[in-house]
Amino acid sequence: MSLLLCRQEHVKRPYFMELMGVHLYSSQELSYVIFNHPALVLDDFVDERLLTFLREELDKGFLALKLERWLKSGENPDEALMIILQECDYYSMAEVGRFRQMAAALRKKHPADFMRTKADELFSLRQYGRAVEIYRKLLEYPESEQVDAQFMGRVLHNLGSCYARMFQLDKAFEAYENSYRKNQQDVVLEKLYDLSQIDERLVLGEELQDEITEKKQEIWKQRLKKAREKAKESRQVKELEGLFRQDTVKRQAGEAEQIYKWKTEYRNMA
Amino acid sequence: MDGLLVGVDLCDEYTHINCPEEEKLWTIPTVICRNKNADEWYVGEEAYAHTLMGDGIIVDKLLNLALRDGTATLGGVRYGGKELLLLFLERILKLPAREYQKEELGQLVIAVKRLDPKLSRMLRELVMRLGIAKEQVQIISHSEGFIYYTLSQKKEIWNNTVGMFDLSEVGLRYYEMKVQRGMKKVTVVAEYEDLEEGIDLNVLKKPSGGHLADRILTSCAERMMAHKAYSAVFLTGKGFLNQDWAAGLMKYLCSRRKVYIEQGVFARGAACRAQEGAKDNASFTCICDGRLKTTVSMNVLHRGQETNVTVAAAGDCWYDRVSVIDVIPDHQNSVDFIVTSLDSRKKKLISIPLEGFPKRPDRTTRVQIQVVFLDERTMEVTLRDRGFGELFPASNVQIRQEVML
């Protein structure tokens, strides 16, 4: 239990963390991103743009110089991240040690597995557009011991989920179909069924329909119904309903605000 | 420092001016007069003279008038109290400049009877309107002026308790000062008490009145000074310009004590303070009216080490002290302050829970702590949720709490 004292950092031009779609305003935020999302920062994160941010905005010229020299020395570039964590004083030495182990574990992964971890990380951060790019690249990987049908099935499933969250339902349907062909998982089939119920243009092929027993269909139907009811009762829907009950002026202002919010959110994720 | 150093004791009745290491003391009644026929202004005795001649209209109690945003109509024109005080200050500051032939001002220290934020702010604003920079001005209390004056004397005068009676037209005040030698720094504590036994100075003109006043003051002195070891006692104020009426008091005070009669103690003290310049108590900690008697600090983690950060130190001016610190709680849901009393060295822990702050992962809430003081004994703490950048945006949650020190 303690309070960390924050140094005064008067950042005028924040660092844009492209992969996450966020601006970073302090050394603590920078440390947090590095520590919590190692897969996103292991490759080419420490570059001239970051050094300029450290030097000019965070007033950490000495750290920037140290990193510059480290990168030129040809030593393990991952160590540059530990140097940042140590100098920014947000994590303890024990935590920096833990990060070193995490980074080493990631490096030991097969390149395809590492890429998938990165894409999964982006998916969890709702960066679906960026995750799609990586999943699609993974599909070009030649099959091997590590990159087998099961692996590809999972990649296709996650790709489908990305598309679904971006409301590109036809692409999602196609990805789930391909995923099902690879690993025949019920969870994927259920998603295909759900999509066909949500969008009538998406029709399950005969081959897939044969896989769905009446019992399964009944369970999934119930689940979808419950999900729809739950969505109806959600805070966001209630807020929207409330907005529509307001007078024209307030409603229009609220609509404009809501649409702007959705657009921004969508642009960020796609 | 090349500019002129000036100490001013500004009261409603009189204004004293002194410059460091100079004996000359200007005593000017705090009044201003405007010529009835021309835009000419006079201050002090000159103002009285013009009023008596009948060609001027006088305004007195300028400090009070300015402080309560009052107005006065002179020659058909309504003037604000602040404006009149500004004209007064402008004129009196020319006196030392003319005497020592130094136009440029180095430091100006104004001592006032009772320091409060409104008065301090108003005087600073007025002085800045005279073209004097903020860092060239200090506003201090009479107690602080007393401390600086006493410490400018020989050590034997202040190596024990120092007492002072200030007998003016508005009342009787007793000051007491002690020097405490600590391990790190010398601390000087001064306190005062406004005594109920105020005396109308006009009664001193008659022998019977003087005799009565002597008995009253002697009994006050006996009450205030009993069982204490004094190295010196000062007598100041208009009432002590003549001490013929105070035979009994002098007899009591002068037994085994050094007694000094000095006029302009507060202006002389302010002049000594001006010599210290803009630095805040470099050589000793000053505890008196307008300054904090306790130190407020926090234990924080800095570069992996637990460190104690001072939010406000004993001796800081409470009315212009604003501390802003940003912290990030690590497995902690409160902000804790340590209040250390100067006298007892006792420590008190004050914990303010971060109630209503959004729930976020650990170490992702930046809390801005702002501390201001409402008076010497009351601290106002404001805790604001600053979030964690765009990763965890700030909410509008803030907690404001008054803490008795």
CB contact under 8 A, B304 and A93: yes
Residue pair A269/A165 in contact by the 8 Å Cβ criterion: yes
CB contact under 8 A, B299 and A32: no
**Of B34, B118, B132, which is closest to residue B83 (Cα–Cα)?**
B34
Domains present along chain A, CATH in parentheses: 15-108 (no CATH), 111-211 (1.25.40.10), 238-269 (no CATH)
pLDDT at B344: 60
Chain A neighbors of B363, CB-CB under 8 A:
4, 28, 32, 90
B35 φ, ψ (degrees, to nearest 5): -65, 135
Where does CATH 3.30.420.40 sit in chain B?
4-143
Residue B336: burial class (beta carbons within 10 Å; 0-12, 13-18, 19+): middle
Local confidence band at B305 (pLDDT 50, 70, 90 cut-offs): confident
Give the count of beta carbons closer than 10 Å to the beta carbon of residue B91: 17
Q: Using the predicted structure, report yes or no on whether residue B9 has a pLDDT greater than 60.
A: yes
pLDDT at B282: 59
Q: What is the pLDDT of residues A71-118, one digit of tens each?
A: 888 888 889 999 999 999 899 899 999 999 999 999 999 999 999 999
CA distance A22 to B217: 74
**Of B365, B354, B370, which is closest to residue A28 (Cα–Cα)?**
B365
Give the architecture (CATH level 2) of B4-143.
2-Layer Sandwich (3.30)
Residue A59: burial class (beta carbons within 10 Å; 0-12, 13-18, 19+): middle
The letter for the amino acid at B65 is: L
Q: What is the pLDDT of residues B135-187, one digit of tens each?
A: 899 999 999 999 999 999 999 999 999 999 999 988 899 999 999 887 677 88
CB contact under 8 A, A4 and B330: yes
Chain A neighbors of B388, CB-CB under 8 A:
28-29, 32
Residue pair B171/B242 in contact by the 8 Å Cβ criterion: no
Chain A neighbors of B366, CB-CB under 8 A:
6, 26, 28
Residue A72: burial class (beta carbons within 10 Å; 0-12, 13-18, 19+): exposed
Percent helix, strand and coil across chain B, each to the nearest 5: 30, 40, 30
CA distance B12 to B85: 11
Measure in Å the smallest separation between the Cα of A20 and chain B Cα atoms: 9
Where does CATH 2.60.34.10 sit in chain B?
294-404
Chain B residues whose C-beta is within 8 A of a chain A C-beta are 298-304, 306-307, 309, 325-332, 335-336, 363-364, 366-367, 388-391
For the sheet containing B41-43, what is the strand order? B41-43, B32-35, B56-59
CA distance A85 to B58: 71
Three-state DSSP class for residue A153? helix
Nearest to B364 among A1, A6, A32 (CB): A32
Mean pLDDT calculated for residue range B309-322:
88
| Mean pLDDT (chain A, rounded) | 92
Q: What is the pLDDT of residues B202-261, one digit of tens each?
A: 888 888 889 999 999 999 999 999 888 999 999 999 999 988 899 999 999 998 889 999
Compute the C-alpha angle A54/A56/A62, nearest 5°: 55
Mean pLDDT calculated for residue range A187-215:
91
Q: Using the predicted structure, report yes or no on whether residue B277 has a pLDDT greater than 80.
A: no
Nearest to B330 among A2, A14, A29 (CB): A2
pLDDT at B320: 79
CA distance A7 to A96: 20
DSSP-assigned beta bridge partners for residue B190 = B177
Give the count of beta carbons closer than 10 Å to the beta carbon of residue B178: 15
Q: B294-404: what fold?
A: Substrate Binding Domain Of DNAk; Chain A, domain 1 (2.60.34)
CB contact under 8 A, B298 and A3: yes
Measure in Å the smallest separation between the Cα of A17 and chain B Cα atoms: 11
Closest-CA residue of B relative to A11 is B389
What are the contacts of A139-145 at 24+ separation with CB within 8 A? Answer: A141/A112
Residue pair A246/A254 in contact by the 8 Å Cβ criterion: yes
| CATH code assigned to B145-267 | 3.30.420
**Lowest model confidence (mean pLDDT) among A120-129, B314-323, B367-376:** B314-323
Give the count of beta carbons closer than 10 Å to the beta carbon of residue B182: 11
CB contact under 8 A, B332 and A89: no
**Of B207, B195, B190, B204, which is closest to residue B238 (Cα–Cα)?**
B204
Q: How many CA atoms lie within 13 A of A151 on its CB side?
A: 20
Compute the C-alpha angle B323/B324/B330, nearest 5°: 125
CB contact under 8 A, A5 and B304: no
Residue pair B28/B133 in contact by the 8 Å Cβ criterion: no
Tokens, residue A125: 């951060």
Chain A neighbors of B365, CB-CB under 8 A:
none
Measure in Å the smallest separation between the Cα of A67 and chain B Cα atoms: 19
CA distance A99 to A95: 6
**Of B202, B215, B198, B205, which is closest to residue B249 (Cα–Cα)?**
B215
Chain A neighbors of B304, CB-CB under 8 A:
89, 92-93
Measure in Å the smallest separation between the Cα of B332 and chain A Cα atoms: 5
pLDDT at B103: 85
Mean pLDDT calculated for residue range A194-209:
90
Question: What pTM does this model have?
Answer: 0.78
**Cβ neighbours for B60, distance < 8 A, ≥ 6 positions apart:** B12, B29, B30, B31
CB contact under 8 A, A5 and B389: no
Local confidence band at B2 (pLDDT 50, 70, 90 cut-offs): confident
Q: What is the pLDDT of residues B36-78, one digit of tens each?
A: 888 899 999 999 999 999 999 999 999 999 999 999 998 888 9
Any B CB within 8 A of A3 CB: yes
Local confidence band at A270 (pLDDT 50, 70, 90 cut-offs): confident
Mean pLDDT calculated for residue range B394-404:
93
Q: Which residue has the tokens 């002597």?
A: B214
Chain A neighbors of B367, CB-CB under 8 A:
3
CB contact under 8 A, B301 and A4: yes
